[in-house]
């Protein structure tokens, strides 16, 4: 085993309990849009905040203004539910998780421009998947096409990618069945780099840092925590632990040093802490 692979494994598994842990206050900013809100992916851009609503198929995406949640754009996609969305400067990329595909779609119409097979697909096996503490207060979620599992019933579902990010011409995403973070060349869709996720339910991802150093943050929904990774080695250097009463993190993104996340029960939140540029 090469040193980099060893560090990745040690960082992701052996040292999760030993890393610096922060507890940060969360602010619920606004309700997610849509008649059946089930937000599962977020992406911050200069134009606004993209929200991926998993209800479907077809799944729908929204572009919202940060300050007041005003809808700037909305359209249906051909995706079969999903939990990841990002923007490459021209088009958006979304996970079609239940079809095990990754789609590049027109950022104004939702038309599919290209479709790729997702690596690492498989069946997730969560005997006790964590569900939102807000579920009993937001009955509209029961209308979703992806209802929360009953307590103790477990969850087995073939699925593909969830959270994703575009960075320096490369596509990064997480795949829960593989418990892995991937970086691919979007032109060939060849896998260039991987490292293990902290747990078995990686979800939203985001980048933060400065011009000298960048960090890859990744939600794990079952662990109710957000992990800071060295993107070169996968080593985990910090963890933000959410309280049991807090909205449960699914999709996540970082904009101008502020981390935003969504609880798939229907709310969009932000953390009261700075995460760098």
**What average pLDDT does this structure show over 250-260?**
95
Q: Is 116 helix (H, G, I), strand (E, B) or coil?
A: strand
Statement: the pTM of the whole predicted model exceeds 0.85: yes
pLDDT of residue 129: 92
40 compared with 212, residue with greater pLDDT: 40
* Domains with residue ranges and CATH for the chain: 3-271 (2.40.128.630)
pLDDT of residue 36: 86
**What average pLDDT does this structure show over 49-57?**
89
Q: Measured in whole angstroms, how far is the alpha carbon of residue 157 from the centre of its chain? A: 18
Above 50 in pLDDT, residue 14?
no
Above 70 in pLDDT, residue 139?
no
CB 51 within 8 A of CB 71: no
d(CA 256, CA 67): 13
Element (H, E) at 5: helix 3-9
**What average pLDDT does this structure show over 194-222?**
93
């Amino acid at each position: 085993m090469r040193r980099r692979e060893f560090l990745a494994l040690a960082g992701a598994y052996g040292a999760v309990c030993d890393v610096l842990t922060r507890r940060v206050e969360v602010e619920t900013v606004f309700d997610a849009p849509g008649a059946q809100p089930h937000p599962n992916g977020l992406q911050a851009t200069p134009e606004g905040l993209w929200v991926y609503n998993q209800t479907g198929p077809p799944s729908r995406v929204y572009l919202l203004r940060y300050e007041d949640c005003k809808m700037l754009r909305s359209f249906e996609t051909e995706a079969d539910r999903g939990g990841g969305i990002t923007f490459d400067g021209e088009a958006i990329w979304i996970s079609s998780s239940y079809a095990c595909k990754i789609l590049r779609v027109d950022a104004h119409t939702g038309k599919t421009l290209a479709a790729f097979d997702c690596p690492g697909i498989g069946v997730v096996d969560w005997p006790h998947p964590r569900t939102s503490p807000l579920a009993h207060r937001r009955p509209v979620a029961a209308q979703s096409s992806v209802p929360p599992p009953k307590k103790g019933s477990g969850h087995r579902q073939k699925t593909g990618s969830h959270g994703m990010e575009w960075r320096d011409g490369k596509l990064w995403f997480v795949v829960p069945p593989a418990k892995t973070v991937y970086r691919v060349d979007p032109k060939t869709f060849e896998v260039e780099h991987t490292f293990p996720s902290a747990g078995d339910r990686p979800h939203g991802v985001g980048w933060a840092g400065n011009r000298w150093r960048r960090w890859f943050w990744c939600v794990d929904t079952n662990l109710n925590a957000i992990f800071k990774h060295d993107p070169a080695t996968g080593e985990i250097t910090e963890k933000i632990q959410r309280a049991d009463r807090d909205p449960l993190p699914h999709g996540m993104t970082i904009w101008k040093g502020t981390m935003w996340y969504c609880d798939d029960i229907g709310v969009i939140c932000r953390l009261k802490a700075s995460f760098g540029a």
